[in-house]
Amino acid sequence: MKMAERMVAALFILGLLAGCDRSDGQEALSTTEAHHDSHVGHKSDEHGDAKRMKAAFSFRSGAAKAKEEAELAVRITDPAGGPVKDFELNHEKLLHLIVVSEDLSYFSHLHPSYQGNGIFRLPLTFPAGGKYKVFADFKPVGGNNTTVGQWLTVEGTPMKAESIQVDLGRAKEVGGKEIALTPLALKANEEITLTFSFRDARTKEQITDLEPYLGATGHVVILSRDAGHYLHVHPLDEASTGPEARFVTSFPQPGIYKIWGQFQHRGKVITVPFVVQVE
């Protein structure tokens, strides 16, 4: 075979292989821990273990229906299609499951039980029909932090979609607590420290007795408006008890993002959402 013919054949084979990639509709997201000196969040880049690992999401009943409990199974497989059997504890859990509605008005952070042989299970009840995106966040033993996301369709009447409005004041009252987020100006591709500040909503006294949540003072999940970019950020000081909790990350591109901060105070988990504009 002539050299030119060999090159054409090689390019044809590469094209076939590229066409097979992501045929299952999943989005594989490489992740890197954001700890004390890392200053990097779990980002939606397609490289590393994320490109090799896969997660299959399925319901025992075949499909989930709104307001009815359905058991979700998450099966993690390696590049050869075999089960990934060993996982490392990542903030006290083997797998973190994030579930959001298409308009980002619904958010849930769950922890399925490991059944062995690469399979996790948990019961789920969706508030309404429509599209939801699920993210499986895990770390295989000897591998990197990996997140795989996929859209699921839930049968039933959809909820009325909520428009995403940027929070101008950046202060929310949740569970009797006043929580503020700074800074106000956010720019893409720059290292940014997100600072959550806590006060008692009635007395305005600073809250200094936050409790550990999943082994840290808090956790932050960030999604772009279309849920295409996912960041899971852990605090700079995991032992902080308030009145501030700081998280360092960077936004991959300009646009609107929704931020969910999760903290624990006096035995109750607080989830506070913020919508921000990144320039």
pLDDT of residue 51: 56
Contact predicate 146/138, CB 8 Å: yes
Residues 237-274 pLDDT 10s:
999 999 999 999 999 999 999 999 999 999 999 999 99
**What φ, ψ does residue 251 adopt, rounded to 5°?**
-90, 130
Q: How many angstroms separate the Cα of 19 from the Cα of each of 13, 22, 91, 242? A: 10, 8, 37, 50
Contact predicate 123/88, CB 8 Å: no
Point out the residues of the chain with pLDDT beneath 70: 1-51
Domains contained in the chain, CATH given: 25-154 (2.60.40.1930), 171-278 (2.60.40.1940)
Which tokens sit at 230? 């996912």
Q: Name residue, tokens 């989005």.
A: 27
Residues 161-185 pLDDT 10s:
889 999 877 889 999 999 999 998 8
- Neighbour-count burial of 120, counting CB atoms closer than 10 A to its CB (0-12 exposed, 13-18 middle, 19+ buried): buried
Hey, is 49 helix, strand or coil? helix
User: Mind giving me the DSSP string for 92-133?
Assistant: TBSEEEEEEETTS--EEEE-PEEEETTEEEEEE--SSBEEEE
* CA neighbor of 259 nearest in space, from 239, 236, 278: 278
